[in-house]
């Protein structure tokens, strides 16, 4: 597999980014592809490791050593087939996935710190294979060469399936079920299909034309889409059960974690998704009414939360032309490298810097917000906080560490706490778990014929997990439809 000594002779080489001074003025993607010869060279680093852990680290079980070898030998069509065999949307995961596959690559077993710049590649393997970049370019080339074709089912079953939500879990489930010959209808409350992929991920990370071309494939395979339909309101749960043989709930974890502090009601405090969704709509050509517009232009922006959503707010604020951008994370700064209690091939809980953080701003850890301060007109003007540290597993305030920072736009990017029970879930009568997710063992809920997948089932997670859940739920639904003698109603 690969070049026998490739992992020793060839250094890990990441793709280039567009210059910061250029990319912060637009919403085009910042990553640049590697030339084909360089990509093949990187694929040659995939060693014959005997027991590969990369496809176990990947929730989709991607056949990573296989398509690395096919790229090395120039067999691009075969590489695309191997990639698509396990992943419905590799052009998405090749852009926005944090790559747990690379974290579990055998070449990460003895990686030395800062190996990319150490000049010590002959002594130790310098980092994982660039799996994510190879995956992205296989997928992009497959589209460019018109190798991505509809896979229409030769026989229709006559069974009808409703998929609620058009995020990655819903789209993956819909595509897999359509390929089994079922009549699939996807319901989306927003005006465009895509869910998180459409409105949650900034265009500078994934331009939406990539999503549109994939949706064309799904339509050609027989998937029907109904936008602007808030299921639970425009269409009720009982109506769905009367019209469809099975229902798949993939509405995501939509309840954001709030900030219960003094001053929360001041003007200028918003959930991160309000901010990000608006900007994605602007890029799509929508006009946001001035009185509803949330802009960082000329403002002192503070972002609470250090995950991907917080990072996306940082990059978007830079592009708006914010006066300052500050990110606060409640927990202490993670270590630079793995600690003994976090061994390979587990996901490494280490300090990471995103492309948005590289674009500027201040980033601080161990900061807890105490209250928000406003002006006489009810507008946010400052944030009061205190520094905290971990003592015996608990966050403890550091005496005398209180400080105040100017802030006229506060974005809450602290994650999500589950799915709203009111509406569809209540109408269907599905059981919820302790974290307010839909309880669905083996993807089947407590109600016959109703299934759940993605963030609505497992809680807030990664796009790659959502795709994997959608695929597995589709298998479960197909098995149910093969034995069910009547509709669920």
- pTM, 2 dp: 0.94
H helices within 350-428, ranges in order?
355-358, 424-428
Q: What does residue 105 show for φ and ψ, rounded to 5 degrees?
A: -60, 140
Q: Would you list the DSSP string of 333-381?
A: PPPSS--TTS-TTSPP------HHHHTS-EEEESEEEEEEEE-TTSBEE
DSSP 289: P
Does the pLDDT at position 15 exceed 80? yes
Determine contact, residues 419/438, Cβ cutoff 8 Å. yes
216-250: b or e for each residue (b if 16 or more CB lie within 10 Å)?
ebbeebbbebbeebebbeebebeebbeebbbbbbb
- Could you tell me if residue 29 is inside a domain? yes
End-to-end CA distance of the chain: 52
pLDDT bucket at 55, cuts 50 / 70 / 90: confident
What would the mean pLDDT of 416-439 be, rounded to a whole number?
94
pLDDT bucket at 109, cuts 50 / 70 / 90: confident
pLDDT in tens, 131-163: 999 999 999 999 999 999 999 999 999 999 999
Q: Which helix (H) or strand (E) holds 385?
A: strand 380-391
Does the pLDDT at position 488 exceed 50? no
> What local confidence, expressed as pLDDT, does residue 122 receive?
38
Task: Count up the domains in the chain and report the number.
Answer: 3
Q: What percent of the chain has pLDDT over 70?
A: 95
The three-point CA angle 287-290-295 to 5° equals 90
> What local confidence, expressed as pLDDT, does residue 2 receive?
64
Q: Do 327 and 399 lie in a common domain?
A: yes
pLDDT in tens, 243-253: 999 999 999 99
- Tell me the HSE value of 386 on the side-chain side, using a 13 A CA sphere: 12
What would the mean pLDDT of 79-98 be, rounded to a whole number?
97
Q: How far is CA 35 from CA 41, 67, 354, in A?
A: 10, 17, 23
pLDDT bucket at 485, cuts 50 / 70 / 90: low
What would the mean pLDDT of 58-86 be, rounded to a whole number?
96
Does the pLDDT at position 489 exceed 50? no
pLDDT in tens, 29-41: 999 999 999 999 9
Neighbours of 327 (CB within 10 A): 25
pLDDT in tens, 217-229: 999 999 999 999 9
> What local confidence, expressed as pLDDT, does residue 233 receive?
95
- Sequence-ordered list of residues with C-beta below 8 angstroms from that of 387, at least 6 positions apart, any chain: 366, 367, 368, 397, 398, 401, 403
> What local confidence, expressed as pLDDT, does residue 222 receive?
97
Q: How far is CA 258 from CA 264, 372, 405, in A?
A: 9, 14, 20
Determine contact, residues 449/484, Cβ cutoff 8 Å. yes
Supply the CATH number for residue 325's domain: 3.50.50.60
> What local confidence, expressed as pLDDT, does residue 314 receive?
98
Q: How many residues does the chain have?
A: 489
Stronger pLDDT, 306 or 249, i.e. the higher one:
249
If DSSP codes are grouped into helix, strand and coil, which group holds residue 357? helix
What would the mean pLDDT of 157-172 be, rounded to a whole number?
97
Q: Do 445 and 397 lie in a common domain?
A: no
**Residue after which a domain boundary falls, among 144, 178, 194:** 144
pLDDT in tens, 311-350: 999 999 999 999 999 999 999 999 998 898 999 999 999 9
pLDDT in tens, 364-381: 999 999 999 999 999 999
If DSSP codes are grouped into helix, strand and coil, which group holds residue 270? strand
Q: What is the mean pLDDT of the chain?
A: 93
> What local confidence, expressed as pLDDT, does residue 3 receive?
75
- Could you tell me if residue 151 is inside a domain? no
Does the pLDDT at position 116 exceed 60? no
pLDDT bucket at 486, cuts 50 / 70 / 90: very low
pLDDT bucket at 261, cuts 50 / 70 / 90: very high
What would the mean pLDDT of 264-271 be, rounded to a whole number?
98
pLDDT bucket at 484, cuts 50 / 70 / 90: low
Separation of CA 245 from chain center: 30
Q: Do 30 and 123 lie in a common domain?
A: yes
Domain that holds residue 398: 269-412
- Could you tell me if residue 263 is inside a domain? no
**Residue after which a domain boundary falls, among 360, 388, 412:** 412
Q: Do 199 and 274 lie in a common domain?
A: no
> In the beta sheet, which residues pair with residue 197?
none
Supply the CATH number for residue 138's domain: 1.10.1060.10
- Could you tell me if residue 152 is inside a domain? no
Strands 403-406 and 380-391: antiparallel
Q: Do 31 and 44 lie in a common domain?
A: yes
Q: What does residue 252 show for φ and ψ, rounded to 5 degrees?
A: 80, 175
Two structure tokens written together for 376: 């006489």
Q: Do 108 and 199 lie in a common domain?
A: no
Q: What does residue 44 show for φ and ψ, rounded to 5 degrees?
A: -65, -15
Q: Do 106 and 239 lie in a common domain?
A: no
Two structure tokens written together for 292: 């509803």
The burial class, CB within 10 Å (0-12 / 13-18 / 19+), for 155 is exposed
**Residue after which a domain boundary falls, among 119, 144, 169:** 144
């Amino acid at each position: 597999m690969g070049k026998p000594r490739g992992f020793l002779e060839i250094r890990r080489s990441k793709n280039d980014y567009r210059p910061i001074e250029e990319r912060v003025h637009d919403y085009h993607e910042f990553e640049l592809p590697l030339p084909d010869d360089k990509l093949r060279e990187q694929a040659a680093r995939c060693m014959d490791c005997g027991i590969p852990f990369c496809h176990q680290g990947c929730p989709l079980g991607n056949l990573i050593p296989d398509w690395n070898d096919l790229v090395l030998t120039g067999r691009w069509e075969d590489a695309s087939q191997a990639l698509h065999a396990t992943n419905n949307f590799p052009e998405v995961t090749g852009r926005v996935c944090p790559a747990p596959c690379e974290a579990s690559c055998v070449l990460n077993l003895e990686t030395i710190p800062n190996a990319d710049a150490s000049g010590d590649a002959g002594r130790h393997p310098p980092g994982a294979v660039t799996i994510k970049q190879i995956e992205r370019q296989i997928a992009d080339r497959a589209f460019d060469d018109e190798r991505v074709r509809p896979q229409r089912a030769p026989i229709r079953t006559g069974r009808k399936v409703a998929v609620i939500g058009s995020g990655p879990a819903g789209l993956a489930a819909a595509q897999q079920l359509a390929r089994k010959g079922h009549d699939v209808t996807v319901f989306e409350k927003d005006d465009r299909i895509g869910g998180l992929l459409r409105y949650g991920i900034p265009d500078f990370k994934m331009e939406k034309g990539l999503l549109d071309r994939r949706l064309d494939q799904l339509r050609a395979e027989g998937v029907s889409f109904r936008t602007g339909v808030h299921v639970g309101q425009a269409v009720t749960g009982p109506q769905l059960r009367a019209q469809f043989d099975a229902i798949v709930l993939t509405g995501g974890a939509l309840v954001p974690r709030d900030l219960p502090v003094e001053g929360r009601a001041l003007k200028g405090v918003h959930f991160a998704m309000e901010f990000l969704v608006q900007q994605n709509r602007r890029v799509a050509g929508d006009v946001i009414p001035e009185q509803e517009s949330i802009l960082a232009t000329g403002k002192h922006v503070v972002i609470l939360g250090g995950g991907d959503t917080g990072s996306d707010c940082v990059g978007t604020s830079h592009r708006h032309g914010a006066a300052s951008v500050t990110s606060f994370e409640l927990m202490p700064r993670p270590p630079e490298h793995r600690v003994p209690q976090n061994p390979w091939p587990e996901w490494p809980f280490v300090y990471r810097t995103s492309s948005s953080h590289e674009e500027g701003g201040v980033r601080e850890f161990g900061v807890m917000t105490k209250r928000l301060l406003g002006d006489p007109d009810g507008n946010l003007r400052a944030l009061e906080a205190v520094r905290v540290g971990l003592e015996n597993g608990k966050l403890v305030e550091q005496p005398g560490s209180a400080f105040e920072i100017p802030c006229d736009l506060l974005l809450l990017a602290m994650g999500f706490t589950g799915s709203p029970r009111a509406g569809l879930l209540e109408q269907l009568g599905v059981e919820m778990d302790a974290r307010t997710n839909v309880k669905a063992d083996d993807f089947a809920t407590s109600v016959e014929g109703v299934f759940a997948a993605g963030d609505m089932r497992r809680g807030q997670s990664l796009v790659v997990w959502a795709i994997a859940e959608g695929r597995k739920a589709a298998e479960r639904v197909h098995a149910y439809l093969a034995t069910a003698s009547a509709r669920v109603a």
